[in-house]
Structure 1
Amino acid sequence: MAKLKYLEPTELLEKIYSTLCSEYEDAQHYENEPDKEEIRVTKSRLTKKIFNEFVVDEEYFLTMDKETFNERYHLYEDDFLRLIRKCSENNVDYETFTQIIDDLIASAKFRLHAFEQLSDEIQKLQEAVEEESDENGSEEEEG
Protein backbone atom coordinates (compact mmCIF):
# COMPACT_ATOMS: atom_id res chain seq x y z
CA MET A 1 0.00 0.00 0.00
CA ALA A 2 1.17 3.53 -0.80
CA LYS A 3 2.52 5.59 2.07
CA LEU A 4 -0.18 8.02 3.17
CA LYS A 5 0.74 11.22 4.98
CA TYR A 6 -2.55 12.23 6.56
CA LEU A 7 -5.44 9.85 5.92
CA GLU A 8 -5.72 7.01 8.41
CA PRO A 9 -7.81 4.45 6.52
CA THR A 10 -10.04 2.17 8.54
CA GLU A 11 -11.10 -1.34 7.64
CA LEU A 12 -14.66 -0.07 7.36
CA LEU A 13 -13.62 2.62 4.87
CA GLU A 14 -12.34 -0.02 2.48
CA LYS A 15 -15.53 -2.07 2.82
CA ILE A 16 -17.82 0.90 2.25
CA TYR A 17 -15.77 2.01 -0.75
CA SER A 18 -15.96 -1.49 -2.22
CA THR A 19 -19.73 -1.52 -1.70
CA LEU A 20 -20.11 1.85 -3.37
CA CYS A 21 -18.09 0.69 -6.39
CA SER A 22 -20.37 -2.33 -6.55
CA GLU A 23 -23.48 -0.10 -6.47
CA TYR A 24 -22.18 1.83 -9.47
CA GLU A 25 -21.63 -1.43 -11.33
CA ASP A 26 -25.07 -2.75 -10.39
CA ALA A 27 -26.80 0.49 -11.40
CA GLN A 28 -26.18 -0.31 -15.05
CA HIS A 29 -28.49 -3.33 -14.82
CA TYR A 30 -31.59 -1.59 -13.50
CA GLU A 31 -34.07 -0.02 -15.86
CA ASN A 32 -37.22 0.76 -13.90
CA GLU A 33 -37.45 4.09 -12.12
CA PRO A 34 -38.09 2.85 -8.54
CA ASP A 35 -34.96 0.69 -8.70
CA LYS A 36 -32.92 3.52 -10.22
CA GLU A 37 -34.05 5.88 -7.47
CA GLU A 38 -33.22 3.34 -4.78
CA ILE A 39 -29.72 2.88 -6.22
CA ARG A 40 -29.26 6.66 -6.45
CA VAL A 41 -30.16 7.09 -2.78
CA THR A 42 -27.90 4.20 -1.78
CA LYS A 43 -24.97 5.68 -3.71
CA SER A 44 -25.56 9.07 -2.12
CA ARG A 45 -25.69 7.62 1.40
CA LEU A 46 -22.59 5.48 0.87
CA THR A 47 -20.71 8.47 -0.52
CA LYS A 48 -21.51 10.48 2.60
CA LYS A 49 -20.68 7.46 4.80
CA ILE A 50 -17.24 7.24 3.19
CA PHE A 51 -16.70 10.95 3.76
CA ASN A 52 -17.66 10.58 7.41
CA GLU A 53 -15.29 7.61 7.76
CA PHE A 54 -12.19 9.67 6.92
CA VAL A 55 -9.82 9.79 9.87
CA VAL A 56 -7.16 12.49 10.12
CA ASP A 57 -5.11 13.20 13.25
CA GLU A 58 -7.00 10.37 14.97
CA GLU A 59 -10.35 12.12 14.43
CA TYR A 60 -13.22 11.03 12.21
CA PHE A 61 -14.74 13.75 10.03
CA LEU A 62 -18.10 12.66 11.44
CA THR A 63 -17.19 13.28 15.08
CA MET A 64 -14.72 16.12 14.58
CA ASP A 65 -15.56 19.31 16.44
CA LYS A 66 -17.63 21.47 14.07
CA GLU A 67 -15.32 24.48 14.44
CA THR A 68 -12.24 22.35 13.72
CA PHE A 69 -13.91 20.73 10.72
CA ASN A 70 -15.01 24.08 9.31
CA GLU A 71 -11.56 25.57 9.78
CA ARG A 72 -9.72 22.66 8.16
CA TYR A 73 -11.93 20.74 5.73
CA HIS A 74 -15.29 22.41 5.07
CA LEU A 75 -13.91 24.34 2.11
CA TYR A 76 -12.96 21.00 0.54
CA GLU A 77 -16.15 19.08 1.29
CA ASP A 78 -17.53 19.29 -2.26
CA ASP A 79 -14.15 18.21 -3.64
CA PHE A 80 -14.04 15.20 -1.30
CA LEU A 81 -17.54 14.15 -2.29
CA ARG A 82 -16.80 14.60 -5.99
CA LEU A 83 -13.61 12.54 -5.70
CA ILE A 84 -15.46 9.77 -3.86
CA ARG A 85 -18.15 9.70 -6.55
CA LYS A 86 -15.74 9.79 -9.50
CA CYS A 87 -13.40 7.18 -8.03
CA SER A 88 -16.18 4.74 -7.16
CA GLU A 89 -18.08 5.37 -10.39
CA ASN A 90 -14.94 4.48 -12.35
CA ASN A 91 -13.94 1.64 -10.01
CA VAL A 92 -10.59 3.17 -9.11
CA ASP A 93 -8.70 0.69 -6.95
CA TYR A 94 -8.80 1.33 -3.21
CA GLU A 95 -5.09 2.16 -2.80
CA THR A 96 -5.23 4.78 -5.52
CA PHE A 97 -8.46 6.15 -4.05
CA THR A 98 -6.89 6.59 -0.60
CA GLN A 99 -3.83 8.25 -2.17
CA ILE A 100 -6.05 10.72 -4.03
CA ILE A 101 -7.96 11.54 -0.84
CA ASP A 102 -4.68 11.86 1.08
CA ASP A 103 -3.47 14.39 -1.51
CA LEU A 104 -6.60 16.49 -1.04
CA ILE A 105 -6.17 16.34 2.74
CA ALA A 106 -2.57 17.50 2.21
CA SER A 107 -3.91 20.49 0.30
CA ALA A 108 -6.21 21.33 3.21
CA LYS A 109 -3.31 20.96 5.65
CA PHE A 110 -1.06 23.25 3.56
CA ARG A 111 -3.84 25.85 3.41
CA LEU A 112 -4.29 25.72 7.18
CA HIS A 113 -0.52 26.01 7.67
CA ALA A 114 -0.40 29.08 5.41
CA PHE A 115 -3.09 30.82 7.47
CA GLU A 116 -1.30 29.87 10.70
CA GLN A 117 1.90 31.39 9.29
CA LEU A 118 -0.01 34.55 8.42
CA SER A 119 -1.46 34.78 11.94
CA ASP A 120 1.99 34.28 13.47
CA GLU A 121 3.46 36.99 11.22
CA ILE A 122 0.68 39.44 12.06
CA GLN A 123 1.20 38.75 15.77
CA LYS A 124 4.96 39.42 15.44
CA LEU A 125 4.29 42.68 13.62
CA GLN A 126 1.76 43.78 16.25
CA GLU A 127 4.22 42.95 19.04
CA ALA A 128 6.94 44.96 17.28
CA VAL A 129 4.59 47.94 16.95
CA GLU A 130 3.64 47.66 20.65
CA GLU A 131 7.31 47.45 21.64
CA GLU A 132 8.12 50.49 19.53
CA SER A 133 5.18 52.33 21.05
CA ASP A 134 6.34 51.43 24.58
CA GLU A 135 9.88 52.59 23.79
CA ASN A 136 8.61 55.89 22.39
CA GLY A 137 6.41 56.35 25.46
CA SER A 138 9.42 55.76 27.76
CA GLU A 139 11.50 58.28 25.84
CA GLU A 140 8.77 60.91 26.12
CA GLU A 141 8.57 60.39 29.90
CA GLU A 142 12.34 60.79 30.22
CA GLY A 143 12.44 63.87 27.93
Structure 2
Amino acid sequence: MEELKYLNPTELLEKIYDTLCSEYEDEAHYDKEQDKQDIEVTKKRLTKKVFNEFVVEDEYFLTMDSKTFKERYHLFEKDFFKLITECSKNGVPYEKFIEIIDNLLACAHYRLNAFEQLNEEITRIKAEKEQEEEEPTEAIEEEVVEEDDT
Protein backbone atom coordinates (compact mmCIF):
# COMPACT_ATOMS: atom_id res chain seq x y z
CA MET A 1 0.00 0.00 0.00
CA GLU A 2 1.23 3.48 -0.89
CA GLU A 3 2.07 5.68 2.09
CA LEU A 4 -0.67 8.21 2.73
CA LYS A 5 0.25 11.88 3.00
CA TYR A 6 -2.90 13.48 4.39
CA LEU A 7 -5.54 10.93 5.37
CA ASN A 8 -5.21 9.26 8.77
CA PRO A 9 -7.53 6.25 8.33
CA THR A 10 -9.24 4.80 11.38
CA GLU A 11 -10.37 1.24 12.02
CA LEU A 12 -13.94 2.48 11.99
CA LEU A 13 -13.47 4.01 8.54
CA GLU A 14 -12.52 0.62 7.15
CA LYS A 15 -15.50 -1.07 8.82
CA ILE A 16 -17.98 1.52 7.59
CA TYR A 17 -16.54 1.40 4.07
CA ASP A 18 -16.73 -2.41 4.03
CA THR A 19 -20.34 -2.25 5.21
CA LEU A 20 -21.18 0.25 2.49
CA CYS A 21 -19.60 -2.00 -0.14
CA SER A 22 -21.65 -4.93 1.14
CA GLU A 23 -24.86 -2.87 0.88
CA TYR A 24 -24.12 -2.32 -2.80
CA GLU A 25 -23.48 -6.05 -3.24
CA ASP A 26 -26.66 -7.03 -1.37
CA GLU A 27 -28.80 -4.56 -3.30
CA ALA A 28 -29.02 -6.88 -6.31
CA HIS A 29 -30.73 -9.57 -4.21
CA TYR A 30 -33.77 -7.52 -3.23
CA ASP A 31 -36.89 -7.29 -5.35
CA LYS A 32 -39.37 -5.48 -3.13
CA GLU A 33 -39.60 -1.75 -3.61
CA GLN A 34 -39.60 -1.10 0.15
CA ASP A 35 -36.39 -3.10 0.55
CA LYS A 36 -34.76 -1.12 -2.26
CA GLN A 37 -35.80 2.16 -0.65
CA ASP A 38 -34.42 1.01 2.71
CA ILE A 39 -31.11 0.09 1.10
CA GLU A 40 -30.93 3.50 -0.61
CA VAL A 41 -31.36 5.22 2.76
CA THR A 42 -28.75 2.94 4.32
CA LYS A 43 -26.27 3.63 1.49
CA LYS A 44 -26.73 7.39 1.84
CA ARG A 45 -26.26 7.28 5.60
CA LEU A 46 -23.19 5.05 5.35
CA THR A 47 -21.70 7.28 2.64
CA LYS A 48 -22.09 10.26 4.96
CA LYS A 49 -20.57 8.26 7.83
CA VAL A 50 -17.55 7.37 5.68
CA PHE A 51 -17.12 11.04 4.82
CA ASN A 52 -17.42 12.11 8.46
CA GLU A 53 -14.80 9.52 9.47
CA PHE A 54 -12.05 11.12 7.37
CA VAL A 55 -9.28 12.37 9.65
CA VAL A 56 -6.75 14.95 8.49
CA GLU A 57 -4.14 16.40 10.85
CA ASP A 58 -5.81 14.59 13.77
CA GLU A 59 -9.14 16.26 13.05
CA TYR A 60 -12.29 14.45 11.91
CA PHE A 61 -14.39 15.99 9.17
CA LEU A 62 -17.37 15.44 11.49
CA THR A 63 -15.99 17.60 14.30
CA MET A 64 -13.92 20.03 12.25
CA ASP A 65 -14.72 23.69 12.75
CA SER A 66 -17.10 24.73 9.97
CA LYS A 67 -14.91 27.70 8.98
CA THR A 68 -11.86 25.43 8.68
CA PHE A 69 -13.81 22.85 6.69
CA LYS A 70 -15.21 25.47 4.33
CA GLU A 71 -11.78 27.02 3.80
CA ARG A 72 -10.02 23.72 3.13
CA TYR A 73 -12.42 21.07 1.84
CA HIS A 74 -15.85 22.45 0.96
CA LEU A 75 -14.89 22.99 -2.66
CA PHE A 76 -14.17 19.24 -2.93
CA GLU A 77 -17.19 17.95 -0.99
CA LYS A 78 -19.09 16.71 -4.05
CA ASP A 79 -15.94 15.00 -5.28
CA PHE A 80 -15.47 13.22 -1.96
CA PHE A 81 -19.03 11.90 -2.08
CA LYS A 82 -18.65 10.85 -5.70
CA LEU A 83 -15.44 8.96 -4.91
CA ILE A 84 -16.99 7.25 -1.89
CA THR A 85 -20.05 6.23 -3.91
CA GLU A 86 -18.17 5.04 -6.99
CA CYS A 87 -15.54 3.16 -5.00
CA SER A 88 -18.04 1.36 -2.80
CA LYS A 89 -20.45 0.69 -5.66
CA ASN A 90 -17.69 -0.94 -7.70
CA GLY A 91 -16.03 -2.80 -4.83
CA VAL A 92 -12.74 -0.92 -4.91
CA PRO A 93 -10.50 -2.50 -2.24
CA TYR A 94 -10.18 -0.44 0.93
CA GLU A 95 -6.42 0.13 0.51
CA LYS A 96 -6.94 1.60 -2.96
CA PHE A 97 -9.97 3.59 -1.76
CA ILE A 98 -7.96 5.41 0.91
CA GLU A 99 -5.18 6.13 -1.59
CA ILE A 100 -7.76 7.71 -3.91
CA ILE A 101 -9.19 9.81 -1.07
CA ASP A 102 -5.67 10.82 -0.03
CA ASN A 103 -5.04 12.08 -3.57
CA LEU A 104 -8.11 14.31 -3.41
CA LEU A 105 -6.99 15.58 -0.01
CA ALA A 106 -3.64 16.40 -1.62
CA CYS A 107 -5.46 18.58 -4.15
CA ALA A 108 -7.20 20.43 -1.33
CA HIS A 109 -3.89 20.84 0.48
CA TYR A 110 -2.11 22.21 -2.62
CA ARG A 111 -4.98 24.61 -3.24
CA LEU A 112 -4.72 25.91 0.32
CA ASN A 113 -0.94 26.30 -0.06
CA ALA A 114 -1.42 28.26 -3.28
CA PHE A 115 -3.71 30.75 -1.54
CA GLU A 116 -1.29 31.04 1.38
CA GLN A 117 1.52 31.76 -1.10
CA LEU A 118 -0.65 34.39 -2.77
CA ASN A 119 -1.37 36.09 0.56
CA GLU A 120 2.33 36.07 1.47
CA GLU A 121 3.26 37.57 -1.90
CA ILE A 122 0.60 40.28 -1.60
CA THR A 123 1.89 41.14 1.88
CA ARG A 124 5.48 41.29 0.57
CA ILE A 125 4.51 43.55 -2.35
CA LYS A 126 2.55 45.92 -0.09
CA ALA A 127 5.47 46.11 2.34
CA GLU A 128 7.86 46.94 -0.52
CA LYS A 129 5.52 49.67 -1.82
CA GLU A 130 5.20 51.19 1.65
CA GLN A 131 8.98 51.15 2.03
CA GLU A 132 9.44 52.80 -1.39
CA GLU A 133 6.94 55.52 -0.45
CA GLU A 134 8.81 56.21 2.79
CA GLU A 135 12.28 56.34 1.18
CA PRO A 136 11.75 59.56 -0.88
CA THR A 137 10.45 61.30 2.23
CA GLU A 138 13.54 60.24 4.16
CA ALA A 139 15.80 61.50 1.34
CA ILE A 140 14.08 64.90 1.33
CA GLU A 141 14.42 65.14 5.11
CA GLU A 142 18.18 64.40 4.83
CA GLU A 143 18.57 67.18 2.23
CA VAL A 144 16.79 69.66 4.49
CA VAL A 145 19.06 68.72 7.42
CA GLU A 146 22.16 69.15 5.23
CA GLU A 147 20.98 72.60 4.03
CA ASP A 148 20.37 73.70 7.64
CA ASP A 149 24.00 72.85 8.49
CA THR A 150 25.34 75.40 5.98
What TM-score do you get using the length of structure 1 for normalisation?
Answer: 0.97
- Structure 1 segments, 4+ long, off by >6 Å, are none
- Mapping 1:109-124, distance limit 5 Å: 109-124=109-124
Q: CA deviation at 1:141?
A: 3.7
SS at match of 1:6: coil
Distance 1:137 1:86 in 2: 64
CA distance in 1, matches of 2:140, 2:38: 78
Structure 2 stretches lacking a partner, 5+ long:
144-150
Identical-pair percentage:
62
Measured on the aligned residues, the alpha-carbon RMSD in Å equals 0.9
**What is the aligned partner in structure 2 of residue 52 from structure 1?**
52
What is the distance in 2 between the residues matched to 1:139 and 1:29?
Answer: 85
| Aligned residue in 2 for 1:128 | 128
Following superposition, the deviation at residue 139 of structure 1 comes to 2.8
Separation in 2, partners of 1:126, 1:137: 17
Query: Counterpart of 2:15?
Result: 15
Amino acid at match of 1:46: L
Q: What secondary structure is seen at the aligned counterpart in 2 of 1:7?
A: coil
1:94 lines up with 2:94 in the alignment: yes
Please state how far the C-alpha of 1:2 moved relative to its aligned partner.
2.4
Structure 1: any 5+ residue segments left out of the alignment?
none
Q: How many residue pairs get matched?
A: 143
- Please give the TM-score of this superposition, normalised by the length of structure 2: 0.92
Tell me the equivalent position of 1:138. 138
AA of the residue aligned to 1:2: E
